[in-house]
Amino acid sequence: LLLCWLRSLTPVTSLSMLLGMRSLAAALQLEIYWVYLL
């Protein structure tokens, strides 16, 4: 039961990780942009 639940949860987790990494990259780019601006 747990394995099945984990398997169904995996795509959601990977998607959230992907979104998190993308937002992190965007924040990093914004920070670099601000550093160059100032």
State if pTM tops 0.85: no
Q: Which residue has the higher pLDDT, 18 or 38?
A: 18
User: What's the confidence (pLDDT) of residue 24?
Assistant: 92
pLDDT in tens, 13-36: 888 888 989 999 999 999 998 888
* Amino acid identity, position 37: L
Which contiguous run of DSSP H or E holds residue 21?
helix 2-37
Q: State the Cα–Cα distance between residues 28 and 21, nearest whole angstrom.
A: 10
**pLDDT above 80: residue 4:** yes
What residue ranges do the domains of the chain occupy?
A: 1-37
**pLDDT above 80: residue 2:** no
Q: State the Cα–Cα distance between residues 34 and 4, nearest whole angstrom.
A: 45
